[in-house]
Structure 1
Amino acid sequence: MRKIIVTLSCILLVGCGGTGAVDVAKPVSESSIDSGSVKSDSTETKNEDSKADGKVDYDLSSMGPDLVYATIYQMMIDPKSYVGKSFKVTGNYYSSYSKENDQYYHFCMVKDAAACCAQGLELLWADESMNRHENCPDEEALVTVEGVFETYEEGQNTYGRLKDVRLVNE
C-alpha cells in the first residue's frame, strides 16, 4: 500500500508539469502592456515632458488593490528604482503631526483586496499651505493624487515619498 501511495504522489507531482520549454528571455512588446498602467522613460527630460502633458509613469489608480499594494510595497523595498518616476494613486488621506519635528506628515493609504493590509505613501504637497495642514482633504477622505517619487533622510533613516503632489479631480 505504501508503494502505491508513493508512486501516485510521484506521478501527480511529475504529471502536472508541462513538456514545453519556457522562454523567459522573450521581451514583452509595448502593445501587450496596458499603456495606461505602466510607462517607462529613460531620461529626466522625457519624465518632465510626460508630467507636462498629464501622463504619469505609474498610474496606480487604474490597477487592482492587490497590485497597488504590491507596487507600493516594492517602492519601499527598492526605492532607487522609482526615484524620479511620476505616480497617480487613489487612497484614503491621513495626516499626523510630529511635535519633535514641528511638522505635519501627510499620507495616502491603500489597502489590499481583502482590506487586511495597508501600505501608505507619504505626500509632500506642491501647495506649501497644505504642508502646513491648511486646506487639506478631510481625514480618511478618498483622494487621487499625482506626484514624483523621491527619497529623503531624516535622522539615520531613509524614507520614500511623493513630492510636488497635487489633488486630481476625477
Structure 2
Amino acid sequence: MKQRLCRFWAALTAVLLLAGCGGSASSQEPADSVSSVPPASSVPAQPEAETQAEGSDIQVDVDLTTLSSTMVFAEVSNLLYDPIPYLGKTVRMQGEFSVDHAYTMDGELDLSKNYFYCIIEDALACCAQGLEFSLADAPAYPEGYPEEGSQITVVGTVEFFEENGFRHLRLGNAYFSEEK
C-alpha cells in the first residue's frame, strides 16, 4: 500500500511538472505583437542628469534629487554596492545631515576627526543608508556645517580615499547646495 501511494505521488508530480512545461500555440504571444517593456539596452543604468550645479560651473552627472524616495534609495544602494561606474561622476543628493566622530586606539572619543554623511531613507523610512562627503573648503566643525539632523543637499564627486590602510567611498570636493 505504501509503495503504491509513493508511485501515485511520483506519477502525479511528473504529470504536473510536464503539464506546466508545455503550452499551446494559442496561449503564446504572436511574434508581431508590440511589447510594452522596452529592451534592457534602451533603459539607462543610472539617472544621468547633466544639469548645472547651482552657483558653480560644475556639471552634475547624477541628480538624485529628481527621483522618488524609492528610486533614490535604490540608486544609492547601487552606488554603494558597485561604485566603479560612478567614480569621477558628480552627484547631487538630498538627505539628513549626520556626523560621526573618530575614536582613539584606546576607545576614547576623538573630536579632532569628524566624518560627515548624507543619510537617505527608503520610502517607508524603515531603512537608511548614508554616503560620506568631504567639503571642498573643509570648514571647522560645527561652525561651517548645518545642525545635525537637518535636511541638506550636497553635491560632490564620487571617489575612493584611503585611511588607516582601508579604502572608503565618499563624495569628495563637495559643497552644500541651496537647491532642494
SS of the residue aligned with 1:128?
coil
TM-score by length of 2: 0.68
Q: CA RMSD in A?
A: 3.6
Q: Contact between 1:125 and 1:164, CA under 8 Å: does it hold in 2? A: yes
Query: Structure 1 residue 153 and structure 2 residue 162: aligned?
Result: yes
Note closer, same or farther for the CA distance 1:65–1:129 as it changes in structure 2 (3 Å cut): same
Tell me which of 128, 135, 144 is aligned to 1:125.
135
Change (3 A) 1:83 1:10: same
Kept in 2: contact 1:66–1:112 (CA 8 A): yes
Q: Counterpart in 2 of 1:95?
A: 99
Q: Deviations over 1:21-70 (max 9, x none)?
A: 97846546xxxx7xxx4147xxxxxxxxx665353000001111111111
Instruction: Specify the SS of the correspondent of 2:20.
Output: helix
Preserved contact between residue 79 and residue 151 of structure 1 (Cα < 8 Å): no
TM, length-normalised to structure 1? 0.72
**In the aligned structure 1, how far is the partner of 2:27 from the partner of 2:156?**
45
- Structure 2 partner of 1:47: none
- Contact kept? 1:104, 1:133, Cα under 8 Å: no
Where do 5+ consecutive residues of structure 2 fail to align?
A: 1-8, 105-109
Stretch of structure 1 that moved more, 19-28 or 115-124: 19-28
In structure 2, distance between residues paired with 1:91 and 1:18: 45
Could you list the per-position Cα deviations for residues 90-136 of structure 1 after superposition, in whole angstroms to 9, with x for gaps in the alignment? 00000011133640000000011111111101010112214x43321
Gaps of 5+ in 1: 41-49
Work out the number of aligned pairs and report it.
Answer: 154
Residue 78 of structure 1 and its aligned partner are, at CA, apart by 1.5
How far 1:75 sits from its partner (Å)? 1.4
